[in-house]
């Protein structure tokens, strides 16, 4: 049986950690406001917003909305890794989001 979207994303991020990527799940206050955490361009890192992860998937683990991300370092390398798991990071005006690669 095919693994669901959430499983494949979790797997991709675990894989990234094995390649020395730093992975953080941030609270709302760490994501925005005065305490917000911004990734360094010199460190390979990805930050996801916990509340967005919570609402980004339905009960079946299927993605229902894009997951906003903050990516530092070599985004191209991370994207290659995500794509092997059926995901990709899309950048729009310096704002990253993670989406599943559509079947067609």
Q: Show contacts of 73-80: CB within 8 Å, 24+ apart.
A: 73/21, 73/39, 73/40, 73/41, 73/42, 73/43, 73/44, 73/45, 74/44, 77/19, 77/44, 78/16, 78/21, 78/44, 78/46
Residues 20-44: pLDDT tens digits? Answer: 999 999 999 999 988 888 888 899 9
Residue 72 — very low, low, confident or very high, per pLDDT cuts 50/70/90? very high
Domain boundaries, the chain: 5-100
pLDDT at residue 22, as a whole number? 96
């Amino acid at each position: 049986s095919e693994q669901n979207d959430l499983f494949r994303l979790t797997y991709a991020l675990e894989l990234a950690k094995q390649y020395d990527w730093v992975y953080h799940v941030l609270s709302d206050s760490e994501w925005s406001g005065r305490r917000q955490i911004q990734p360094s361009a010199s460190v390979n890192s990805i930050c996801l917003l916990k509340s967005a992860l919570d609402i980004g998937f339905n009960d079946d683990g299927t993605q229902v909305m894009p997951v906003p991300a903050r990516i530092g370092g070599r985004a191209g390398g991370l994207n290659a890794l995500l794509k092997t798991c059926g995901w990709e990071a899309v950048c729009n005006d310096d704002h990253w989001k993670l989406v599943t690669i559509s079947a067609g």
